[in-house]
Amino acid sequence: MKFEEDLAKKIIAQYSLSDSTLKVWRSRGSIPDKYSDTDYKPREVISKVRNVKHDRLVDLLKSGKIVVRNFAELVGVSEHKLNEAISAKQTLLSESDLLKCEVELKKLKFEIVRTFQTFLNLNLIRLLNSPVIAYSVIVHDKQLTNKISYIRSGKGEPDRALWNDLKDKYIVFAMQIQL
């Protein structure tokens, strides 16, 4: 698009561009064509805080302690988007998707902490049946994972000994949930 001083000033103000942009466009004698497109949206400036949250989410999902497919369904974000974010650091989740993930992870963290504050069968059963948590990755003990599988199948009830055995492992996991 041909350079016009008034139009250039209007575009610079509209998109909050640098003052030096006017000089560059004037010297070139043109304004980039993208600014004439009514559907053009400038790239989103990503804050450092959002970038850190995004990286922490990706690290948590990469750890294998969260079942990505079930987490995506719970959060309402495409599994494909989450897997892309995991596999390539260049792919960023949108602000709203990141917020949805953050909210659900805070709920999960709260549920874990609440479960291990006092022993209640119902809370422990609910936590062990969570489809989002990859309990076998968190526990790392064949005997304990067998007990959890038995409880998840509805054939048994957790006892205080199991609660004590799982407490440290799940609290460590809860501390890792930090966006």
pLDDT tens sequence across 21-54: 999 999 999 999 888 887 777 766 667 888 889 9
172 and 115 assigned to the same domain: yes
Q: How confident is the model at residue 19 (pLDDT cuts 50, 70, 90)?
A: confident
Residue 145 covered by a domain = yes
Q: Which residue has the higher pLDDT, 131 or 39?
A: 131
Only one residue has tokens 């596999």, namely: 87
Query: Average pLDDT over the chain, rounded to whole?
Result: 90
Residue 156 lies inside a defined structural domain of this protein: yes
Global pTM? Answer: 0.72
**Looking at the structure, do residues 120 and 139 belong to the same domain, yes or no?**
yes
The Cα diameter of the chain in Å comes to: 78
Does 119 share its domain with 168?
yes
Average pLDDT over residues 55-82: 94
pLDDT, residue 15, reads 81
Query: Please, what's the b/e burial string for 104-130 (b: 16 or more CB within 10 A of its CB; e: otherwise)?
Result: bbeebbebbeebbeeeeeebbbebbeb
Top pLDDT among 119 and 36 is at 119
What local confidence, expressed as pLDDT, does residue 46 receive?
A: 66
Say what the pLDDT of residue 129 is. 95
Q: Rounded distance, CA 66 to CA 52, Å?
A: 19
| Residue 41 in domain | no
**Which of the listed residues 56, 83, 101 is the one where a domain comes to its end?**
101
- The percent of residues in the chain predicted with pLDDT above 90, rounded, is 69
- 169 CB-side CA count, 13 A: 18
**Whole-number pLDDT of residue 88:** 74
CA dist 159 and 164 (Å) reads 9
Number of domains within the chain: 3
In a domain, 77, yes or no: yes
HEC assignment per residue over the chain:
CECCHHHHHHHHHHCCCCCHHHHHHHHHCECCHHHHCCCCCCCCCCCHHHHHHHHHHHHHHHCCCECHHHHHHHHCCCHHHHHHHHHCCCCCCCHHHHHHHHHHHHHHHHHHHHHCCCCCHHHHHHHHCCCCECHHHHHCCHHHHHHHHHHHCCCCCCCHHHHHHHHHHHHHHHHHCCC
Same domain, 27 and 76: no
Quote the CA–CA distance of 7 and 5 in Å, as a whole number: 6
Q: Which domain holds residue 18?
A: 5-36
Over residues 133-166, the pLDDT tens digits come to 999 999 989 999 999 999 999 998 999 999 999 9
Instruction: Say what the pLDDT of residue 91 is.
Output: 66
Query: Is the separation of the CB atoms in 130 and 108 below 8 Å?
Result: yes
pLDDT at residue number 18? 83
